[in-house]
Structure 1
């Protein structure tokens, strides 16, 4: 790609979806301007509405004036747009690429929502969500164990690992805030080892949000949510 290209990222601190894009850009060595969106601010910024008028959500990558939305779509775009860089996010084999997309979608549409519910719900709803989350994590545990590799993509961090960042880092902080023990070494030793290796991978480690700040961020968010609900509410 040319040296005069313009790359901007509309993101939000503390968002695992925004962080995915930052991680991919840094792994590829792409210089970019980061523009932080206040997720608590209403209405949305004019810049966000201009570049993502459909879902009005972050992250949005703007490459030479052209916006791309949805984090997984952006990851694929980054891999294709800067395919001359040494780091490859998605496998080049068509079947392996399809498999990677499958697991990324599984993590986004199945695992992350169940994990989030298991930390935010209370009573029977939390118990049901906890059971669902454990079942889904067991599927990932088996998949990673069968591969006998450090990461889902092989020996280095790739597309699926970045897509699984909510499991690899965020959920550890959120379950601590919520007082839930879900993803633990006794239950999921392979996934926990993957999470440790993921966090310790050089570029990942250098750019993860500090745990203490992320803890404070979600604690404040949970407390704010509690205050908006009636005493009879069943969700945090």
Structure 2
């Protein structure tokens, strides 16, 4: 499928942009996430990044990706720094790095605000990108550190969008909490997973939406035959 997508893309694609998208992948490693659930997250995220439609869009966007492991206050770390996805080989290598990324913390609280703050500051290192997105995965509401809503004004001012995937394993109202307190920016959205076993498919669909439907200034279309979805690569209707 990747070969077909590449051939199709080469027919209509114009020159690649310098960097259409800077994307922070912020992964929850707080105490509520056990070893098996951490592995589901990282394997699911890696599999999503290898998806031929997603990787095609990332390469076309010359996207830059960064992975942040986050938990309690003062315990967030960039474990995979900014990496440009300028080829399928780079996309595969990044997915491999995600899948093998060792867990840093295990037994701490949930500080979503600090995760957003560190992610926001990291964009200073990629000023050339056109669109800035933080992709937060979490299974609990923030219970330590800065309140996420305290950062919303600055995030909006900087043109940064925050989307989220709410893993409702132990908090059935987490989607509503993320909607009210975490996501921000034009077109921001929350994807719900009823539990960690749902995470791989949910994160694939989430990334599919983020890096294809919302990718700016990249005209053309790719069809995802598994979901029978025609994905249109156009300027985001919510672009600022």
TM value normalised by structure 1: 0.28
Larger-gyration structure (1/2): 1
TM value normalised by structure 2: 0.28
Pick the structure with more helix per residue: 1
Pick the structure with more strand per residue: 2
Q: Which has the higher contact order (CA 8 A, sep 6+)?
A: 2
